[in-house]
Structure 1
C-alpha cells in the first residue's frame, strides 16, 4: 500500500525540501523537469522493445537506472530504490510462487495425461468454427469460479491452445479469446484479489462494485462473442484439416492412457477455488494428484514425472516411448518449473524499474497538475483510465496502481459527487484489463509464456480487455447526452456511508 500523495504543494515545483527530507527523499521535480526522463523512458520502451525488438527485461533495467539516477541526483539515496524493490517483491511473493506452481501444474498435468485428455475431448466435440467462442466462454466460467486469470489461462487455456494447434486454426485469436475470458472472470469474480482490492482502495462495497462493472463488461463481452463468431465462420472444416485432427486423435490414443480419472487434477483446482482454499495449497494438491495419476495410469517412473514438473514434459517421456509427430511434439512439450524462470526474472526487472520511478516522483509530478484541472465527469473518468493504464504499465502491479489512482483521483471523484463504484470500475477497466496486453508487464510475460503467443499478436483479439476500457470511457463522455447512464452519483446517505467505509479501510 502506498502512502497518500501530498496534494497541498502542487505549485512547489523545484522548491528545496527541509533538511530531514533532503537526507531521505528526492525533491519533487516540476512537471517540465519530470517530462524529460519520462520521454526518454518512453523512447526506450517504444524504440527498444517495439521497434528494435530488444529484450524487455533489459529495457526495464535501463529505464530503471534512468529513474534511479534521476532520483539520486535530486537528493534520494540509492538504498531507497533497493528497499522499494524489496518491498514490492515481498508483496508479490505469493504471485511469484503461484507463477512457479503453474509451471509445475502444466508439467504434471502433461505427465499424467490430463491435458492430452482435455485436448482429445475438445477435438472430438468442438467444431472449429465455434472454438474461439468456446475458448472465451470456458475460461470466463472457470476464472469466475476460481477468481484467477492466471490459473484459468495456465490450465484450461493451455489445453485450448493445444486444441487450436491440432485443428490448425489461429493461435493468436485463440489466445486472445482465452485472455478475454480469463480476465472477464478475474474482473467479475468476488473471489478475485483484484476485484476485492479495487473496491477496498476506492471505498466501495464489493458487490455494488461488481454490479456497476456490468455496464462496461456486458457490452464488451457481447462484442467479443460477435467477433469470435464472425472470425470463426471463416474456418471451414476441410477434409485435410479433419484428416489432421483424426491423425492427432489417433496419436494421442496410442501415446497416452486416456481415462476420465485424469479429470481429477482440474476438479481439485475447481473445488479448492470454490471452497476458497489458499491458491498455492490448491495448486500443490492438484499437481500431487497428477503425479500419482502419472505413476499409476501412465506407468511412468517417479524420476520421469519429477523431471516433467521441473524441466518440462518432452516426447522422450511419453508412456509409449515411441516416435512423435511434429504436431504431437508441439502439443506436449511444455511446462515445468524452469519454464517460469524468465517470467520470474522479469518480475525483478519490473520492480527495479517501478522502484526507480517511484523514488523519482516523476509520475506524481506529471499527473497531479492534470488532476487539478479536471472539470467534467468525462474528463475525470477518461484521465483516470489513461493514468491507470500508464501506472500499471510502469509498475506491473495492479494493487499498487489502485492505491496510487485512489490518491490521485479520489478527491476529483468526490468533488463531482461521483459514487466510489465509478472509481473502482475505472481502476478495473484500466489496470486490471490492460496490464496483460503489454509485453513488459509481469502478467503480460506470464500469459505470453504460458500460451506461447506474443502479447501484440493476441492483443487485437483480447476484445474484452480493450473494449472494456473503451466502453468505460464512452459511458463517461456521453453521460451528459444519456442522462448519466452507467454513472452513479452520491446521495447524502451514500456520501456518509462512503466516508465511513473510507475511514475504516484506512484504519
Structure 2
C-alpha cells in the first residue's frame, strides 16, 4: 500500500472534481474522455505540488495503460464481430428461426434464461451481448418489445458470465486474488445466485406477460420474409455461434474466439451471401447497414464496425490512466484505509467488502480494481474474523463486478451502448441482476451474522 503524500483536503477535492466532471459529461451527453482528461490534469497538478515528480506520474499512467493493451484489441474485435455476424447472415438466421420458435412464449423470460446459459458457456458478458444478444434484440424488435427493456434483460443475463462462468477472465482474476479454487467459489456463490436468478426470472416473466401478444402474425411473417429475401438463410449458419460457444467452453481465450468467429463469418459472407471482399472489409471497419426495402430490417441489422469502437478505446485509456495515477499516488488506498480499520464484525466485513468493491468500480470505470484491491486489503480481516475467503470472492462478484453495466461511465456500459444503440440511462432500471445481486448479498450478511455468532459460542465452549 502506497503512502499518500497528498493531504486530506486535496484528496477530496480531486475526488469531487472527477465525479463532477463525469456527471456533467453524462448529463450533457459529452464524451467522457473530457472528464478523464480534466481529472488527470488536476490530479497531476496536485501530485506535483505534493512532492511527486512528473516522471513518476507519467510512469504510473503509462504502466496502467500498457497492462490493459489486450483490452483495446478485444474492443476492436467486438466492433468487427457484430458487423461480420450481420453480413454473414448468422444473426438474420437466428432472428428468422427465433421469430418462429419463440412465438407464443414469454419472450423476456425466455431471453433472460437463454442469454444466462449462453453467457456461462461463453465466459464473456460483452462477447455474449455482441453476438447472441444482437440476435435476441432483432427478434424482440419483431415482437414489438421496447428496446430499453430488452437490453436490460440481455445485460442481466450476460453479466452472469462475470459472476460464475469458469472461463470468465474476471472470475478467474477474483479466484487468483482471493486464493481459492472454482469449486469453493461456486459452492459459496450458489447461496446468493439461486435466489437472485429466481427473483429476476419472476419479475421478467411478469413484465413479459404484457408483450406476449404485442405483434400479430402478419407483422412476424413480413419480417421473416424480408430476412429471407435479403439473406441466404440456413440452419447450417447456426454452426458458427455453436462452434464459438464450444471454443469458449474448452477454454480458448476470448480474443481468439472472436477472431475465429470473424474469419469463419467472413468466409460465409463472401461465399454464401455473395458479398465482395472489399465490401466486407468496409463493413468490418466502418460498420454494416442492411440495404433492404423493409424499414424494420434496416433498423435492426446495423452496426458501427471497428471505427465506432475507437472512441471507446480513448475513453478506456483515459479511465485507466486516471485510475493508475489515483492508485500510484496512494489516493485510493487512503480512501479505503479508514473503512477497513473500523471493521469489527462479520456483518461489517461483508457489507464493507461490497461497499469498497462497488466504490472502486464506480471510481475507476472498470471492474478490475474493484476485484484486486478488496482482495488484497481484506484477506487478513477475513482470516482474523474466521470468515471463509470464498465469501470474500462471492461478495466481490455480487457487488463490484455485477454493477459495472449500470454505471454510465463504465467501460462495460459504453460497449453495451455502442453494440445495442441503447444508453445506460435508458436500460439500467431493467438490468435487474445488477440490483438484485447486491441486495441479496446484503440480506445474507445480516441473516448469517446470527449463525456466525452461534458458531463462535460453540467453538468457545469446546475450547473451555
TM range (shorter): over 0.9
Q: Residue 478 in 1 paired to residue 447 in 2? A: yes
Once the two structures are superposed, residues 440-482 of structure 1 have per-residue CA deviations (whole angstroms, 9 ceiling, x without a partner) of 121121122112211122211111122111111111123234x
Deviation, 1:38, is: 1.7
Match of 1:437 among 403, 406, 415: 406
Residue 370 (structure 1) aligns with = 339
Query: How far is 1:488 from its partner?
Result: 12
Provide the rounded CA distance (Å) in 2 between the counterparts of 1:158 and 1:461.
17
Shift of 1:181: 1.0
How far does residue 105 in structure 1 lie from its aligned partner after superposition?
A: 1.3
In the other structure, the counterpart of 2:200 is 224
Aligned residue number for residue 258 of structure 1: 233
Superimposed CA distance per residue, residues 266-290 of structure 1 (whole angstroms, 9 cap, x where no aligned partner): 1221121122223222222221111
Q: Structure 1 residue 264: deviation in Å?
A: 2.8
The residue that corresponds to 1:40 in the other structure is 17
Which of 291, 298, 306 is the aligned partner of 2:273? Answer: 298
Q: 1:341 to 1:122 in 2, by over 3 A?
A: same
In structure 2, how many angstroms separate the alpha carbons of the residues matched to 1:288 and 1:346?
28
Go from structure 1 to structure 2 and tell me whether the alpha carbon gap of 1:429 and 1:79 turns closer, same or farther (over 3 Å shift): farther
Q: Which residue of 1 aligns with 2:211?
A: 235
Deviation at 1:129, TM superposition (A): 5.6
Equivalent residue in structure 1 for 2:7, among 23, 29, 47: 29
1:312 and 1:333 in contact (8 A); partners too: yes
Tell me the SS of whatever aligns to 2:323. helix
* Whole-angstrom distance in 2 between the partners of 1:310 and 1:466: 36
Cα displacement (A) at 1:223: 0.9
TM value normalised by structure 2: 0.92
Sort the Cα spacing of 1:294 and 1:436 in 2 relative to 1 into closer, same or farther, 3 A: same
**Residues paired across the two proteins, number:** 458
Alignment pair present for 1:399 and 2:368: yes
Are the counterparts in 2 of residues 38 and 362 from structure 1 also a CA contact under 8 Å? no
C-alpha displacement of 1:158: 0.8
CA contact 1:76–1:359 (8 Å) conserved in 2: no
What is the CA-CA distance between 1:77 and the residue it aligns to? 2.2
The alignment yields a C-alpha RMSD, in angstroms, of 2.4
Tell me which residue corresponds to 2:255.
280
Of residues 357, 369, 384, the one that matches 1:388 is 357
**Counterparts of 1:246 and 1:488 in 2: how far apart (Å)?**
65
DSSP 3-state at the match of 1:277: coil
Q: Which residue, out of 413, 425, 428, partners 2:397?
A: 428
What stretches of structure 2 of length at least 5 have no aligned partner? 460-464
Q: Deviations over 1:358-391 (max 9, x none)?
A: 2342222222112111212221211111111111
Match of 1:320 in 2: none
SS in 1 for 2:402: helix
Classify the secondary structure of the residue corresponding to 1:315: coil
Counterpart-to-counterpart distance in 2, 1:471 and 1:455: 23
Structure 1: gaps of 5 or more residues? 10-25, 317-322, 492-507
1:269 is aligned to 2:249? no
Farther-moved stretch of structure 1 (71-80 vs 134-143):
71-80
Moved more, 127-136 or 158-167: 127-136
- Tell whether 2:420 aligns with 1:451: yes
Matching residue of 2:107:
131
How far did 1:398 drift? 2.5
Deviations 1:247-302 (A, max 9, x none): 21111111111112212321221121122223222222221111111122111111
Aligned partner of residue 173 in structure 1, secondary structure: helix
Secondary structure of the residue aligned to 1:478 is helix
TM-score when scaled to structure 1? 0.85
On the 8 A contact 2:371/2:401 being kept in 1, the answer is: no
Q: List structure 1 runs of 4+ shifted beyond 6 angstroms.
A: none
CA 1:440–1:34: 2 relative to 1, 3 Å: same
Aligned to 2:462: none
Q: 1:101 aligns with which of 77, 82, 95?
A: 77
SS of residue matched to 2:213: coil
